Chain A
């Protein structure tokens, strides 16, 4: 059964995605990076994953973290003071 997650975009990513919130379904076993890759298919303007950080349920998380049904996933551009994007 597919996993339904709620994706939120902020700041420049929100503008590039063209929306603030998107509901998306991904296959079981999907990780954060799979969610982002799936979104890239529909939003070609989104930047490469290397310049973005991810959060699950309001906590920063690595790209390899699996997502669960009902999760709130956020894709976060660097903040003004230099949010580091060195997690993989």
Chain B
């Protein structure tokens, strides 16, 4: 199990290495990537800000929730903070399981929970200004 909030580049292969075990026949890895557009506008870069002392324990809690639902799963999560360029990896969730069905399900569940409950925020620098993204809303940033 490995849970990180980091300003360093994230290598999804490292998270996969952390979850692999001899009985795992499937590893499902989700990588979130910085996109060059949002809300119909072009995006130049992002800034992510975390409440790191809370974000890592929240990730660990989600990992435990996955273990409760899929007892054979092993989980790793990492989220980047700071300034990210287009094409960079912002978040990775990797889950290993004996078979692919539960690996897909658990990974999907993990990234969805991370996105809704881990205190990390995205500031979008776009052609129409700078915005904090809060759910479906973009709110003007300073």
**Chain A residues in contact with chain B, CB under 8 A?**
8, 10-12, 14-15, 55, 58-60, 74, 76-84
Contacts and interface: CB of A to CB of B under 8 A. Distances in A.
Closest 5 CB pairs of A and B: A81-B115, A11-B121, A82-B135, A78-B134, A58-B54
Interface residues of B, number: 25
B116 A81 contact: yes
Given A15-B142, A79-B115, A83-B117, A58 B135 contact: no
Given A55-B119, A58-B57, 19 more contacts: A11-B49, A11-B123, A12-B121, A12-B132, A59-B54, A74-B51, A74-B54, A78-B134, A79-B115, A79-B135, A80-B122, A80-B135, A81-B114, A81-B115, A82-B116, A82-B135, A83-B117, A83-B135, A84-B116
B136 interface: yes
Contacts of B112: 81
Interface string B108-132: 0000101111111111000000001
Interface of B: 49, 51, 53-54, 57, 112, 114-123, 132-137, 139, 141-142
Q: Which of A11, A78, A82 counts the most chain B CB atoms within 10 A?
A: A11
A55 B133 CA distance: 20
Q: Which of B57, B119, B136, B142 counts the most chain A CB atoms within 10 A?
A: B119
